[in-house]
Amino acid sequence: MSAPIAVIGAGAWGTALAWLLAGKGEQVRLWAFEPEVASGIVADHENKLFLPGVSLPAALEPTTSLAEAVDGVTLIVLVVPSHATAKVAASLAPHLRTGVPLVTATKGIEPEKLRLISEVLEETLPARRGPVFALSGPSFAVEVCRRLPTAVALAGPPGAPAEALQRLLMTPTFRVYLSEDRIGVQLGGALKNVIALAAGVVDGLGLGHNTRAALITRGLAEMVRLGAAMGADARTFAGLSGIGDLVLTCTGGLSRNRSVGVQLGQGKKLADILAGTRTVAEGIGTAKAAKALAERHGVEMPIVREVCAVLFEGKDTRRAVTDLMERAARSEFDQP
């Protein structure tokens, strides 16, 4: 058996990636923040809290110790919520082996300094770490574990390490495409969650398919604008981590962010929605970060702005939709 791989974060997506790698015969250590998740995997070979119904291979070893998780590993995959990444990375630093590549599969933006997760890892972890990659794309965890065909993008520096990671992650039902646009791949994965909140609101209000299609399309335009301002390749947003993940998250019934939006559109309060779930809807924190990034880079993002008004200022959801529709007329491809 090859040297172990560490997956840091035992939410649905982290568990699914650990399942995928262990299913290929890799020795996988899965770090869980919640002790009950680790003990449940030991007892039942199942993550009943975040990925119920999926049988986990015996080669997947759960742990609540970061030092134990990364001891002697050849790869670290980080899948922790964006707001926790800096703290977890700082805790990992003393235990990091020289030259180990890192893959971030978190779809969010670090809220304090508005950093992409790859930037958090590069700035927090010591210089002896290996290259940092970003994995993103349309990939509901439970469908990956049902072996339903899925395709994602892996972004990072080109060369042998990237190609080795591509081969490591590929299966007959999980296809991985390489990209060099780490900024665009991460922004696509993060910003689509904000647009999914808005799409959920549209569905919760019962506004129909026309409205949702317009919302998705104009949301993509906002994503491209911010991406261009931050140095991303616009083509990335026409790919898996852009329009691919955007369509999935805005329309799929398994989307946590869309579900929160639906409930907001139905008149529920955000605090009440969040009180009823332990899963993380990354779009909530990302909305605030995206608005701040738009202001920093002088980019107009009206959908993001209205999502923030609904989430954090108590704005009525119908009023938010009306304000979007009644803005001044303009050409489709103008900047504002």
Catalytic residue annotation: 192
What 218-222 contacts at long range (C-beta under 8 Å, 24+ apart), as own/partner pairs, is 218/303, 219/191, 219/192, 219/194, 219/195, 219/246, 219/250, 219/303, 220/195, 220/246, 222/191, 222/195, 222/299, 222/300, 222/301, 222/302, 222/303, 222/304
Spatial separation of the C-alpha atoms in residues 127 and 100, rounded to whole Å: 11
Query: Is the Cβ–Cβ distance between 297 and 287 less than 8 Å?
Result: no
DSSP 77-129: EE---GGGHHHHHHHHGGGPPTT--EEE---SEETTTTEEHHHHHHHHS-TT-
Query: Is the Cβ–Cβ distance between 77 and 101 less than 8 Å?
Result: no
The CA dihedral of 33, 34, 39, 40, to the nearest 10 degrees, is -120
Spatial separation of the C-alpha atoms in residues 261 and 333, rounded to whole Å: 27
At 7, is the secondary structure helix, strand, or coil? strand
Spatial separation of the C-alpha atoms in residues 268 and 272, rounded to whole Å: 7
Q: Which amino acid is at 144?
A: V
